[in-house]
């Protein structure tokens, strides 16, 4: 697993494993991300005690978007040491997947979250956390490699 960013010395970080998705739309090559009043993020969040990564991912996607997901594929795992205003110093272990929206089954619980469909290249440097920018860069690189193979 790759770590991005810096770790401050003499700080005790609380481990925070999470599951996140880059939602793809195969019709227009855009991806779904979420925004709130602090910035741009991937859909997903922390894995709660007793949950598997996929259970957490599916729960978070329903909470944030109201959608179930399909065609879920592991993409990358990345770690980062961050400071969060509400939670303090965290060692984020982000398990990132590629998925598609399936069915809308409810209204989102998290009303301050809005799903945006964006071109990855336009949002790579706009993602809120450094690890999220790293993941978007990797996604763009892998997608471009796949396109080269298809030519």
Q: What is the per-residue pLDDT across 10-23, written as a single tens digit (0 to 9) for each? A: 999 999 999 999 99
pLDDT given at position 27: 87
Would you say 133 and 124 are in contact if contact means Cβ atoms under 8 Å apart? yes
The parts of the chain modelled with pLDDT lower than 70 are 150-151
**Which tens digits make up the pLDDT trace of 77-91?**
999 999 999 999 999
Q: How far apart are CA 96 and CA 109, in angstroms?
A: 22
pLDDT given at position 151: 56
Q: Kindly give the pairing relationship between strand 39-41 and strand 67-84.
A: unpaired
What does the longest C-alpha to C-alpha distance in the chain come to?
51
pLDDT given at position 111: 87
Give me 85's structure tokens: 């205003």
Task: Report the half-sphere exposure of 122 (CA within 13 A, side-chain side).
Answer: 9
């Amino acid at each position: 697993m790759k770590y991005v960013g810096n770790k401050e010395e003499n700080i005790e970080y609380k481990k925070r494993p999470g599951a996140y998705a880059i939602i793809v739309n195969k019709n227009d090559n855009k991806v779904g991300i979420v925004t709130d009043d602090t910035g741009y993020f991937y859909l997903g969040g922390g894995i709660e005690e007793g949950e598997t990564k996929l259970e957490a991912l599916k729960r978070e996607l329903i909470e944030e978007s109201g959608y179930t997901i399909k065609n879920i594929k592991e993409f990358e795992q990345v770690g980062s040491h961050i400071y969060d205003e509400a939670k303090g110093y965290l060692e984020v272990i982000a398990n990132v997947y590629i998925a598609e929206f399936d069915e809308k089954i409810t209204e989102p619980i998290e009303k301050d979250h809005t799903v945006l469909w964006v071109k990855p290249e336009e949002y790579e440097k706009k993602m809120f956390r450094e690890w999220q920018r790293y993941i978007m860069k990797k996604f763009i690189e892998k997608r471009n490699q796949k396109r080269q193979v298809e030519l």
